[in-house]
Amino acid sequence: MNTATMLRAFCDAVEQRNGKAFAELFTEDGVYHDVFYGAFAGSAKIAELVDDWFYRTATDFRWDMHTPVSDGHTLYARYTFSYRSTLPEAEGARAMFEGVAIMKLRDGKITEYHEVANTAPAFVDIKFAPERIAKIIARQGAALKARPEMKRHLVE
């Protein structure tokens, strides 16, 4: 599967709430590191991330990958991601943020997915209080810096 086809299948699976199809893009020992929910290892957990976790407080997903670059072992792509929040305080607002997907590949499948994302605009979109946003962003920053394998992706 070429890069463009894989990325479209990746996004489509999330938009269609198809965890099985999403998990099939990963190796059996694959790990998805989500910016909000943490690490999900193995096919069953990766499928659960899409089928359950993503849709607990959101619906109407839209995910697009842009300008992918790959050497066959590592794939980078900018993305835009949005959803309609079902949290009471959001009052049905649409949240959107941008990020970069970082994927390690083996035999045409994803072994690891990481992302670096500017999530703050999404929290403003869904009407989180500034204090709540500050706590979330601080927690995400601390978690990212604690992962030594991601340090080379950070701009200090």
Domain annotation for the chain: domains and CATH numbers = 3-150 (3.10.450.50)
Query: Helix or strand or coil: residue 92?
Result: coil
Residue 127 region by backbone torsions, left for phi larger than 0, else alpha for psi between -120 and 50, else beta: left
In order of 2, 28, 30, 108, the CA distances from 111 in angstroms are 16, 8, 4, 9
- pTM of this structure: 0.81
The predicted pLDDT at position 52 comes to 95
- Per-residue model confidence as pLDDT tens digits over 74-130: 999 999 999 999 888 888 889 998 999 999 999 999 999 999 988 777 777 777 766
